[in-house]
Structures are given as structure tokens and as C-alpha cells.
Amino acid sequence: MQTSLLPTPEGSQPCFVLPIRVYYEDTDAAGVVYYANYLRFCERARTEWLRALGFDQRGLLAEGNAAFVVRSVHADYLAPARLDDRLVVANTLHDLHGASVFFTQRVLREHDQTLLFVADIKIVCVNLDQGRSMRWPESIYAKISAQLQASPTP
């Protein structure tokens, strides 16, 4: 899917879009996506975005014992997704600091672009040995920063 089809309310473009299919395991007894699974979809999209930048979680752990953890989430559930729906998860970067990055992640139904879910998420880089936040490894910071600067804004 082309990201140009998914403008954010602020007018900036997503930095990454991941297609998702809703499976039976994603739904509740009513046949709609269970609320917590939207957060799982967002996690997958952030992980695949990181992979597209050339990094993977296992490599970060081995290299510097660094991990990305969710510090905060503000989520709005706007409409239900149902079994077998094709969805897209759009990641939009907003801000980058020495140890954190801020995203808006949106889940849309692919065929009609209905906005189903939106979350503002703060991710922090953590040193697992110390259990504390740490500065991004320079290689990651540089790529995220370049992507943030390349994003068109209104």
C-alpha cells in the first residue's frame, strides 16, 4: 500500500505502513478484534519499521543489551475490525529525544480507509542490565532522525 494514501490529521506522512489480516485468534466471542490486539498490531508495525531501517531486536540485545519498551500509550478505539478484515497499521514519527521516540500509530480498514484505532505511543530505549533508560545507539538515532527530518509536515 502506498503511504501517500494515508495522510495523518496533521498532514505528515507515515514513515512505515504494515498490512495485517484479522485472524480468528485476533477476535473475541462477538467476532470483533479484541481490544488488546490493536496494541499487538502496533508492536508488529514498530518492529517491522525497525527492521526496515536495518535493525532487529535480537541484534540490539546482543550488541548493547538495549531494548525498546513502551513508556506510555494513549489509545482511542473508534470502530471495530472483524474476522478476515484487511487492515493497515501506519506509523508516524513525531519527536525524537536522546532516549525516547514518539509515534502516532493508526489502524485503518484497508478497503475503505476507515480509521479504527489511534494511539500516541512513547518508546524508550532501555539498558536491560541496569533497568534504566539509555541514549539510543548512534546508528539508530541517526536513522530515526533522518527519517523524521525527511517526513513532510504541513
Per-residue pLDDT of the chain (154 residues; tens, 9 = 90+): 333 345 445 556 678 999 999 999 999 999 999 999 999 999 999 999 999 988 888 877 777 788 899 999 999 999 999 999 999 999 999 999 999 999 999 999 999 999 999 999 999 999 988 989 999 988 889 999 998 887 655 4
Rounded-to-integer distance, Cα 102 and Cα 97, Å: 9
Is 28 a catalytic site residue? Answer: yes
Domain total in the chain = 1
CA angle 97, 99, 103 (to 5 degrees): 60
Cα Rg, the chain, nearest whole Å: 16
Catalytic one among 26, 28, 84, 95?
28
pLDDT of residue 12: 62
Which range marks the domain in which residue 13 is found?
3-150
Q: What pLDDT is stored for residue 132 in this prediction?
A: 93
CA pair distance 118, 75, nearest whole angstrom: 6
Instruction: Find the CATH number of the domain harbouring 84.
Output: 3.10.129.10
